[in-house]
């Protein structure tokens, strides 16, 4: 009889206590750009989450130091490609503050108008793309329909569709084309007349509400701890908006129109509702700016600048309420034609950090719903 060998195989005990590490990205359809999420899972529940960034880093802050004050506008408007006008605006406001420069009144109101139109364009993208990430394809077509309406007037006034390059230190590039304000008013009215589709198609959809209500609750404490701002913070009940609380441009005169939208729930649904209601209010602000522009007499929209523009030695900080949240610009000058240092505080960078606290304890199935409700642009994170 030949000898036999017995082999014992044990399964189960060790495997049950082993966590799985799952990489989402850096190329994943649920992300707005190139972001990687490193998730540690216990079954279908997320234990730890780490956003891994830097895949799109362009070194813009270092490049600012090698460009003069006219050229840095081109670098600044590209990090959040959905908010290019607002990005330009923050930089020129910082430079103008350093120079002690007053901007013509027409330019102030025009900047406010274009900033609000840019806000609507930004929000419409997320109002359409967020339902798409949850399986609803129809809203994205309506969102792009409305975006095209406003893109047309933005392109007519600036010459660009995404990177407008219309701001200048001291004002704007040039005055409006003949009849532009009437066409802009018609575009705003057309978009407003169709905005109820998002209420009907998205907020009125029980599947969307089921996927978002009570999911991804962000506490006010976490908002303050991570420096979260914009519609995400206001969705958690943090009532702060620079346009009202530290007015710049013409917002100080628009207090009767400006409405700061908040919700107390702090979940995905609350963030979407804030974004939608804020879009309605941005259209109202745009109308108010058009009314004010109609009352102003003709005049310049920029200041005459020297051939070589140099900021005096010193430092200053300017911040703006961008569509995605607070953007800050810390400018240090040594009296040269280029910035010694220009530090950019972008909204998306702070907002995305909250995922480390928001995702643990949630299901993998809810991860896309939470990620989409953070309303970020990856270029705004990586700069």
The secondary structure of 106-157 as a DSSP string is HHHHHHHHHHHHHHHHHHHHHHHHHHHHTT--HHHHHHHHHHHHHHHHHHHH
Q: Looking at the structure, do residues 125 and 233 belong to the same domain, yes or no?
A: yes
Q: Is residue 13 part of a domain?
A: no
372 φ, ψ (degrees, to nearest 5): -65, -30
Q: Looking at the structure, do residues 67 and 47 belong to the same domain, yes or no?
A: no
Helices and strands (DSSP H and E) totals, the chain: 16, 8
Q: Is residue 327 part of a domain?
A: yes
Range of the domain at 37: 20-52
CATH number of the domain bearing residue 282: 1.10.645.10
Q: Is residue 106 part of a domain?
A: yes
Q: What is the pLDDT of residue 311?
A: 93
Q: Is residue 14 part of a domain?
A: no
Terminal CA-CA length for the chain: 75
- Alpha-carbon distance 21 to 38, whole Å? 7
Q: What is the pLDDT of residue 55?
A: 83
Q: Using an 8 Å Cβ cutoff, are 335 and 310 in contact?
A: yes
Q: Is residue 42 part of a domain?
A: yes
Q: Looking at the structure, do residues 42 and 89 belong to the same domain, yes or no?
A: no
Q: Looking at the structure, do residues 43 and 67 belong to the same domain, yes or no?
A: no
Q: What is the pLDDT of residue 335?
A: 94
Q: Looking at the structure, do residues 45 and 132 belong to the same domain, yes or no?
A: no
Q: Is residue 15 part of a domain?
A: no
Rg (C-alpha) for the chain, rounded Å, is 24
Q: Can you say whether the dihedral through the CA atoms of 293, 298, 301, 302 is positive or negative?
A: negative
User: Which residue, chain included where needed, has tokens 């009202």?
Assistant: 244
Q: Looking at the structure, do residues 65 and 39 belong to the same domain, yes or no?
A: no
For the chain, the domain total comes to 2
- Alpha-carbon distance 57 to 382, whole Å? 5
Domain boundary among 12, 30, 52: 52
Q: Looking at the structure, do residues 29 and 127 belong to the same domain, yes or no?
A: no
DSSP-derived 3-state class of residue 336: coil
Q: Using an 8 Å Cβ cutoff, are 93 and 170 in contact?
A: no
- Alpha-carbon distance 212 to 361, whole Å? 16
Q: What is the pLDDT of residue 276?
A: 95
Q: Using an 8 Å Cβ cutoff, are 331 and 95 in contact?
A: yes
User: What global pTM score does this model have?
Assistant: 0.91
Q: Using an 8 Å Cβ cutoff, are 172 and 302 in contact?
A: yes
Q: Looking at the structure, do residues 28 and 126 belong to the same domain, yes or no?
A: no
Q: Is residue 11 part of a domain?
A: no
36-42, strands of its sheet edge to edge:
20-24, 36-42, 45-52
Q: Angle 105-133/268-295 helices, nearest 10 degrees?
A: 150
Average pLDDT per consecutive 10 residues, the chain (383 residues; last block may be shorter)? 51 57 70 79 91 86 93 90 93 95 96 97 94 90 95 94 92 94 97 92 91 94 95 96 96 95 95 96 97 94 92 95 96 95 94 93 91 90 85
Q: Looking at the structure, do residues 42 and 67 belong to the same domain, yes or no?
A: no
Q: Looking at the structure, do residues 169 and 111 belong to the same domain, yes or no?
A: yes
Domain boundary among 28, 52, 76: 52
Q: Looking at the structure, do residues 25 and 85 belong to the same domain, yes or no?
A: no
Q: What is the pLDDT of residue 10?
A: 44
Q: Strand (E) positions, 323-382? A: 325-333, 341-345
Q: 189 CB contacts (<8 Å, ≥6 apart)?
A: none
C-beta neighbour count of 103 within 10 angstroms? 22
> How large is the greatest C-alpha to C-alpha distance in the chain, in angstroms?
112
Q: Is residue 227 part of a domain?
A: yes
Q: Looking at the structure, do residues 133 and 172 belong to the same domain, yes or no?
A: yes
């Amino acid at each position: 009889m030949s000898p036999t060998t017995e082999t014992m195989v044990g399964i189960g005990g060790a495997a049950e206590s082993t966590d799985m590490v799952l990489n989402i990205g850096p190329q994943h359809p649920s992300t707005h750009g190139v972001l990687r999420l490193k998730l540690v899972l216990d079954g279908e529940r997320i234990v730890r989450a780490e956003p891994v960034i830097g895949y799109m880093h362009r070194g813009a802050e270092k490049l600012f130091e090698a460009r003069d004050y006219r050229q840095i506008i081109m670098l600044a408007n590209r990090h959040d490609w959905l908010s290019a006008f607002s990005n330009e605006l923050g930089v020129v406001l910082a430079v103008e503050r350093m120079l002690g420069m007053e901007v013509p009144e027409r330019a102030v109101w025009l900047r406010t108008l274009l900033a609000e139109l840019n806000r609507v364009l930004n929000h419409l993208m997320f109002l359409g793309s967020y339902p798409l990430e949850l399986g609803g394809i129809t809203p994205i077509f309506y969102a792009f329909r409305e975006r095209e309406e406003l893109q047309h007037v933005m392109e007519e006034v600036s010459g660009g569709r995404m990177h407008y390059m219309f701001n200048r230190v001291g004002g704007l590039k040039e005055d409006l084309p003949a009849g532009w304000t009437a066409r802009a008013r018609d575009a705003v009215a057309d978009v407003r007349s169709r905005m109820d589709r998002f209420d009907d198609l998205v907020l009125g959809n029980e599947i969307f509400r089921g996927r978002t209500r009570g999911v991804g609750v962000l506490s006010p404490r976490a908002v303050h701890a991570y420096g979260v701002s914009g519609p995400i913070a206001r969705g958690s009940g943090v009532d702060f908006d620079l346009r009202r609380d530290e007015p710049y441009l013409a917002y100080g005169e628009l207090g009767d129109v400006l409405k700061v939208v908040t919700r107390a729930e702090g979940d995905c649904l609350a963030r979407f509702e804030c974004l939608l209601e804020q879009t309605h209010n941005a259209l109202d602000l745009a109308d108010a700016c058009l009314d004010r522009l109609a009352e102003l007499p003709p005049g310049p929209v920029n200041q005459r600048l020297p051939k070589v523009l140099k900021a005096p030695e010193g430092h200053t900080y300017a911040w703006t309420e961008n569509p995605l949240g607070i953007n800050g610009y810390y400018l240090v000058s040594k009296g040269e034609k280029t910035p010694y240092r220009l530090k950019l505080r972008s909204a998306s960078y702070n907002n995305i950090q909250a995922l480390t606290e928001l995702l643990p304890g949630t299901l993998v199935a809810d991860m896309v719903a939470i990620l989409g409700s953070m309303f970020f642009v990856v270029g705004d994170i990586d700069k």
